[in-house]
Amino acid sequence: MTLVFTGICSHGPGITGRADLAPPDLRDPFFAAYGAMRDALHAARPDAVIIVAAEHFANFFMNNMPSFAIGMADGYEGPIEDPDWLKIPRRRVRGDAALSQRIVAEVQQSVDVAYAEEWKFDHGIMVPLSFLDPDNRLTIIPANINCQGPPLAPLARAYAFGEALRRAADKVPERIALIGTGGISHWPATPDSGRINEEWDREFLRRWSLNDKAQLLDYTDAQTYADAGQGGFEIRTLIAAAAAARGPGTVHFFAPIPIFSTGCFVATAEIA
């Protein structure tokens, strides 16, 4: 049946790992927005949630780097990071290999996606999950867009991946939700951590909310690197989510929170 929910949110490891260092007047409404998305996601009663993430070398490396990949296992483990550092305990997350297989087969009609029967989650999935599924109840299908090891797939291909995921979600009888997670502007894991281009972020979120394909794709990686840092390459996941939803979006929360190393956001999109 048709896709039942689409949202996007931040995933920086500092959000959980350094939560105690953030100003409560910014952190608390941000976490409340995650909580509202959790309630909306569960209210949509998804049989499975596709999380389109930009992983950070938890599974894929430059020895064999897929532009797009989908997990195809009955379970996944994460986080790979030191649990005390991320402040998220290790857990096994339920998957559904058979459902993944049907989704991959449909996605392959238009995107040459890689599949992986082994997949470990890093903060890119575990931080959102810690808010969206604290009781570990959901069935998760991880999807990844290479945003780390250039050359990266063009934005138009990320959009096409989102379209393919939507087609696949609509084709299977299960109720499928989709979450896109990545940064907007940020310079993570460098001495620049905390640098945020708020103006760039607000403009991107404006384009995302309009869900205007031409405007969403009107970035080059060179511009993004200069204006939004290497973390800005992760807009691919957000663009894929917009392509899957097709409808306009609503930004429920946005604020730069430097100790989290990113502009923090929670948004949902109408399924059209």
Residue 247 found at the interface with another protein (CB under 8 A): no
Tell me, residue by residue from 5 to 34, as one string, x for binding to another protein by CB under 8 A and - for no binding: --------xx--xx--x-------------
Count of residues in contact with another protein, rule CB under 8 A: 37
Contact 178, 241 (CB under 8 A): yes
Q: Which of 130, 148, 185, 237 binds another protein (CB under 8 A)?
A: 148
The interface region with another protein, picked from 26-34, 37-45, 66-74, 142-150 by CB under 8 A, is: 142-150
CA 257 to CA 194: how far, in whole Å? 7
Output the smallest distance, CB 128 to another protein, in A: 17
CA 205 to CA 259: how far, in whole Å? 21
Closest by Cα among 39, 12, 38 to 27: 12
Q: Which of 53, 216, 259, 267 binds another protein (CB under 8 A)?
A: 259
The interface region with another protein, picked from 50-58, 94-102, 134-142, 240-248 by CB under 8 A, is: 50-58
Q: Return the residues of window 180-219 that contact another protein according to CB under 8 A.
A: 187-195
Q: Return the residues of window 78-117 that contact another protein according to CB under 8 A.
A: 80-82, 85-86
Instruction: Using the minimum distance from each CB to another protein, give the nearer residue, 24 or 149.
Output: 149
Residue 235 found at the interface with another protein (CB under 8 A): no
Output the smallest distance, CB 37 to another protein, in A: 25
Residue 62 found at the interface with another protein (CB under 8 A): yes
> Which spans of this chain sit near another protein (rule: CB under 8 A)?
13-14, 17-18, 21, 56-59, 61-63, 80-82, 85-86, 120, 122, 148-150, 187-195, 225, 229-230, 258-259, 261
